[in-house]
Amino acid sequence: MDLEMGLVLGTMYFGTRTDEATSYALLDRYVEAGGRVLDTANCYSFWTSDTGHGGQSEALLGRWLAANPGLRDELVIATKVGVEPTDDGGTEGLSAAVIEREAARSLERLGVDAIDLYWAHGEDRSTDLEETVAAFGSLVERGVVRRLGVSNHPTWRVERARAIADRLGVEPFTALQLTTSYVDPRPGAQVPGKDHRFGFVTDETVDYLDVQPELELWVYSPLVQGSFDRADRPFPEAYDHPGTTARLASLHRIAADHGVPASQVVLAWMLAKGWKPIVGVSSLEQLDSALASVQLDIS
């Protein structure tokens, strides 16, 4: 399978928790294996930074790209705007001014002329949706962004934004970025660290994708922070229900039949559905395991 059509390398902690040497080694290994899609954000990762602001991941990618001249044209680079903290304790949002300003800052940090896929990272209901859609569309019209995606938004807002884009004659959102896995939390249960109200894939999401084939689904946190393989990282309590028990039993049986970790089966299952799992790794061993899932043939 072509990795450009599947596995995405998430770079959230590159330049903060993951030091530069390790980050470079991960990027090199991913590209050597045929991977071509990198996902970051302007806010990565403010919560681990002494400054309280993000930009470290984009800046590291920019330095890595500069050290590998000629590679940029082979890559798909995706970044996001919308949830970087402001100095007054708020969130930047998705006004036209913010989108314009932050796109320029991301381009500068990355050291590129265009962003291949620019995501609206989170909702901003304080800004008129038409203003947001027009601002994103303007970036595409000027050639500084090639495609648009939307993350952590309810389906009805995505559809409304796409309808506005059609009316305005500008580029629509053609990718969704949400979280899901082979197991799901109980309906209504709070999952630690998942504070986006509409961040999870639902049955409605899947139905929407079925009738909008031009839309892609990118999945963040597909492996639930290592819970499938690591005894020291149990699933959050919200996943403790009979459905999880049954699905894990099936998953571990298939993994045993293939002689691979359960996480590889989860990633292969998503790839077989045409979804793009974003893998966040901090070691070459973790990356190599994720890469092996691309070759795993499951029904």
Among all residues, which ones are annotated catalytic?
44
Task: Please enumerate in sequence order all residues whose Cβ is within 8 A of that of 21, keeping only pairs 6 or more positions apart, or say none.
Answer: none
